[in-house]
Structure 1
Amino acid sequence: MKLLFDLSSNQNIYDGVTVYALRILKGFKKHNYSHITILCNSAIYDYITSNYPEYTCIKAKIDNNNGSLIKNGWKWYKQVKNIDCDVIFSPNPYLTYFTTKKIIQTIHDLQPLKIYSGRTLLAFRIFLPLILLRSHRIITITDFVKKEIKRIYPFIPDRKLHTISNCVIVDPTRYPSSPLPERYLLYVSTLWEYKNIFTLLQAINILKTKIPHKLVIIGKPMDDYWEKTCVPYIKEHQLEPHILHFSKPIDDQLLAQYYQFADLFIHPSLLEGFGYPPIEAAIHKTPVLTTKETALYESTMGILNYYEPATDSQALAKKIQELLANPPSNEELNQIAERLRNQYDYYKQAEKVYQFITQN
């Protein structure tokens, strides 16, 4: 079967949806699956051709800067119409609403309907149902996302929807030394408002005279929320000495070091279709504190540490203190790491995706 792997909308290899796609592609390569053509965004074309030379790679004819959804969607449709394939797999279904070919798509979450407004929200409200209707079948990354689709779009047949979880890959090296001289807590994720970083900052303010730890934040601001809301709070409460912020991506080796030597990893998010960071931290055998919001309790298999309510800074601060005073044993951390590693093994998950894509 000839498969077209659609990366036409993926512009950044560090973006979560692109990470998902590349891990699936890595699994396909490991399985030696053949007859795969990649339709690739120009922004990551060099990376893809360098890392996957065994696959034919076609540069997508879309405009990354000025093209509208309709204009780029039509360009995508015309280009794909002339590519010889039996099925399309789109891990980031953004421009696929015109296609008449058999297409399998992954829906990661419905967060755009919750976090956007104005014209952007209107566009998602118009095009997302079309994408769902055009799909021959749909992969959801958690049962939570599947239930959300059924709730908001009850006209989508249940037979179309199938949950196959994300792949999680971490650097397996155990590093000998910490990247910092002092003890620290760790947050790794983007800095959207729904990631609930403000509640974490409030908790750090409560704890700043009670614990010796810095808070290391590895995450990019996605809009003006960080600068307009979080930075003024940090300055007002004189938290600068207690916070170290990396706003640009760091390499996998350094990220692994930060994960491995954190006394506690904290993920206070309110909206997740899956949630990579707490699972990655746990696989690195680091104690994790997160919420039970949206898909997080499901994806973390209920085996990590949780606090409630998610926006209660006092509850968060109390739980941080408890876990620092009484951390999980090494045996428990090892068991958690092994269970999550097996659950989200990229080789196994890629096989499930391929079998789902290529079935009749």
Structure 2
Amino acid sequence: MKKRVFVDAHVFDGEFQGTWTYIKEIYSILIIKRPDIIFYLAANDIENLQKIFGKAPNVKYIKYKFKSSTLRLGFELPFILLYNKIDLAHFQYITPFIKVCKFMITTHDVLFYDFRSEFSKFYILQKSFFYKISAKLSNYILTVSNYSKNRIEHYFPFTSGKIIITPNAVNQDVFYLSDKEISRDFIKSKYGISKYILYVSRIEPRKKHDLLLKSFIDLKLFKENYSLVFIGKESIKNEILDNILVDNPNLKNYFYFESIEQKDLREFINGAELFVYPSLAEGFGIPPLEAAIMKTPVLCSSKTAMSDFYFFNENLFDPDKINEFQDKLINRLKNNNIDDLNDIYKQIKTFYSWDESAENINKILNTI
């Protein structure tokens, strides 16, 4: 009898986020690799899931009846797992409250512990309770970086020695090498923007958009015909960023897009003079890797999970040190070594592969 693996895919019902890519890339590989296992994928919008994962003899789709996470975790999921005789169920962050089969959980980060000022007290209490209970209920605990592994073990000592790293990677079907001048011509023709510095991320205080905008203004980069482009939805208001914009109502060469089509995003990244990632806190931090795999010059924060990106060498910086950042920003704009870009490209291709992450989970599947 074939083993049965359940994947909670309700994240595909909402807006795009990193977890979306994580599940899609890993299970697209495992569905092909393991025809001996039946995969049950569940969400409210299963038509959307079918577009993403397609049809296969070893894939079944389950439509959730409830959109409420409380009702889904407390009542609906235990019933689904029992009814379908599931052997292993994979969840992101939080498991059902009742355990009826083996659980596997991916805890991408516990940033709310280390950066308490960035989150509400209710958020911290809620997440810390459910994350801890879910980790205790799980037979297998996954995370995406060495940094996250160390922080999870610090706050949940009972997980020590039990965590398996399944690193994020770059989707090279989307982010691939191509002619940069073609991308620049496309962006100039469609958006009227040229010679630009780019930052792609949700807007939150910890993402430090204000550092980059302030530096852009302080260094008067607009006078050198540089533009600054932010792409990403505002998740949490950044009052410092807002105040900078209020104080500079006639700021030239600044552009903000809440969202754009993925094909246009690819062109933006490929055509950028420089991709900057000044975030203070990330469980992984995939955007700078997406830029680097396209051989776009990158300047990246060295904080939290990004400290693993040693291959950026002198192009790592501490976002708490504005003078250091501004010096490196000027230097990176003036000096983009082709050999350096090639070396970074090779290292990312070697060390960040969805095949490797899928294989780590495949080893778990062999034990159920």
TM-score norm. by structure 2 comes to: 0.87
| 1:81 aligns to 2:79 (yes or no) | no
Per the TM alignment, residue 296 of structure 1 is displaced from its structure 2 partner at its CA by: 0.3
Counterpart position of 1:60: 64
Cα distance change on mapping 1:80 and 1:8 into 2, 3 Å: farther
Q: Alignment partner of 1:241: what SS?
A: coil
Equivalences for residues 180-195 of structure 1 within 5 A: 180=188, 181-195=193-207
SS at match of 1:162: strand
Q: CA deviation at 1:89?
A: 1.9
Q: Which amino acid aligns with 2:228?
A: L
Higher relative contact order (CA 8 A, sep 6+): 1
Question: 1:27 aligns to what?
Answer: 29
Task: Tell whether 2:275 aligns with 1:265.
Answer: yes
Q: CA deviation at 1:355?
A: 1.9
CA contact (8 A) 1:7 1:38 kept: no
CA distance in 1, matches of 2:106, 2:265: 27
Question: Which residue in the other structure is 1:200 paired with?
Answer: 212
1:1-360 alignment, distance < 5 Å: 1-12=3-14, 14-31=16-33, 33-43=35-45, 45-51=46-52, 52-54=54-56, 55-63=59-67, 67=68, 69=70, 72-90=73-91, 92-113=92-113, 114=116, 115-156=118-159, 158-170=160-172, 171=174, 172=176, 174-175=178-179, 176-178=182-184, 179-180=187-188, 181-209=193-221, 211-225=224-238, 228-238=239-249, 240-248=251-259, 250-298=260-308, 300-329=309-338, 331-360=339-368
Equivalent position amino acid for 1:177 in 2: S
> Aligned residues: percent identity?
23
Distance (whole Å) between structure 1 residues aligned to residue 346 and residue 211 of structure 2: 30
Secondary structure of 1:177 counterpart: helix
In the alignment, the residues of structure 2 paired with residue 314 and residue 190 of structure 1 have an alpha-carbon distance, to the nearest angstrom, of 24
Q: Could you report, residue by residue, the CA deviation over 1:9-60 in whole angstroms, capped at 9, with x for unpaired residues?
A: 54336111111111112222443544333332214x2221123221111012
Mean alpha-carbon deviation: is it higher for 209-218 or for 252-261? Answer: 209-218
Deviations 1:304-359 (A, max 9, x none): 54354312333222211111111122x32122112202322223322222223432
1:216-260 superposed Cα distances (whole Å, 9 cap, x missing partner): 1111100233xx442331231246422111102x23321111111
8 Å contact from structure 2 (residues 31, 39) kept in 1: no
Distance in 2 separating the partners of 1:303 and 1:357: 35
Paired residue secondary structure (1:85): coil
- Computed over aligned residues only, the root mean square deviation of the Cα atoms, in angstroms, reads 2.2
Amino acid paired to 1:35: I
Give 1:7 deviation, angstroms: 1.2
Q: Assess if the C-alpha contact under 8 Å between 2:73 and 2:97 holds in 1.
A: no
Q: Which has the higher helix share?
A: 2
The 1-side partners of 2:136 and 2:162 are apart by 10
| Cα separation, 1, equivalents of 2:333 and 2:150 | 36
Query: After alignment, is 203-212 or 300-309 more displaced?
Result: 300-309
What is the rounded CA distance, in whole Å, between the counterparts of 2:316 and 2:273 in structure 1?
A: 17
| CA distance in 2: counterparts of 1:39 and 1:233, whole angstroms | 45
Per the TM alignment, residue 274 of structure 1 is displaced from its structure 2 partner at its CA by 0.7
Q: CA deviation at 1:269?
A: 0.6
* Offset of residue 291 of structure 1: 1.3
Structure 1 stretches of at least 4 aligned residues deviating more than 6 Å after TM superposition:
none
Distance across 2 between alignment mates of 1:38 and 1:14: 21
- Measured after TM superposition, the shift of residue 71 of structure 1 is 6.4
d(CA) in 2 for partners of 1:239, 1:34:
62
Could you say what secondary structure the match of 1:266 adopts?
strand
Cα 1:13–1:341 shift into 2, 3 Å: farther
1:315 alignment partner AA: E
Instruction: State the shift of 1:289 in Å.
Output: 0.5
Moved more, 30-39 or 73-82: 30-39
How far did 1:280 drift? Answer: 0.5
Unmatched runs of 5 consecutive residues or more in structure 1:
none
